[in-house]
C-alpha cells in the first residue's frame, strides 16, 4: 500500500506560468514533508521542506503548502523556468526519523518554451 501518492506521472507547463505539483499521503504519523528534484542520471536534490506545524513554507520561486486535514501537500513553482524540467518526488517522514524517507513515484515536470 502506497503511503505517499503522486497521481500525476507527468505535467506540462508553459515557461513563465505557475507549476503545481500535488502529493497525497495516508499515514497520519508523517509530520515532516519534503520535495526533491531529480535530473536524469543524477541523485535526487533537496528542494524544500515543511513541518506539520506549518501550512506554508516559501523559498524563492518555490512554495510548499500543507493541508493536514486533507493529508495533501502541493509544490508551487512560479514563474516556471526551463531548468525546472525534472522529476519531482514528494517524500515524508515520521517523528522518529529513523525510518528513512517514504517517497512517491514522482511527477515528470516539462516546461515548454
Partner 1 sequence: GAGVSQSPSNKVTEKGKDVELRCDPISGHTALYWYRQSLGQGLEFLIYFQGNSAPDKSGLPSDRFSAERTGGSVSTLTIQRTQQEDSAVYLCASSFLLAVQETQYFGPGTRLLVL
| Residue 57 found at the interface with partner 1 (CB under 8 A) | no
| Residue 27 found at the interface with partner 1 (CB under 8 A) | no
| Residue 35 found at the interface with partner 1 (CB under 8 A) | no
Q: How far apart are CA 85 and CA 12, in angstroms?
A: 9
Q: Kindly list the distances between the CA atom of residue 55 and the CA atoms of 33, 43, 75, in Å, as whole numbers in the listed order.
A: 11, 28, 12
Cβ proximity to partner 1, 32 vs 62, nearer residue: 32
Q: State the binding string over 62-101 for partner 1 (x if CB under 8 A, else -).
A: ---------------------------x-x-xxxxxxxxx
CA angle 83, 86, 89 (to 5 degrees): 135
Asked whether 28 and 48 are in contact (CB, 8 A), the reply is no
What residues line the site for partner 1 (CB under 8 A)? 4, 6, 31-32, 34, 36, 41-46, 49, 51, 89, 91, 93-106
Amino acid at each position: 500500500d502506497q503511503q505517499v501518492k503522486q497521481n500525476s506521472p507527468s505535467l506540462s507547463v508553459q515557461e513563465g506560468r505557475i507549476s503545481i505539483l500535488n502529493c497525497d499521503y495516508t499515514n497520519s504519523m508523517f509530520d515532516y514533508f519534503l520535495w526533491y528534484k531529480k535530473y536524469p542520471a543524477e541523485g535526487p536534490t533537496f528542494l524544500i521542506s515543511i513541518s506539520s506545524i506549518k501550512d506554508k513554507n516559501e523559498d524563492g520561486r518555490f512554495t510548499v503548502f500543507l493541508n493536514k486535514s486533507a493529508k495533501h501537500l502541493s509544490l508551487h513553482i512560479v514563474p516556471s523556468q526551463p531548468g525546472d524540467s525534472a522529476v519531482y518526488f514528494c517524500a515524508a517522514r515520521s517523528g522518529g526519523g529513523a525510518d528513512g524517507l517514504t517517497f512517491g513515484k514522482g511527477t515528470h515536470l516539462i516546461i515548454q518554451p
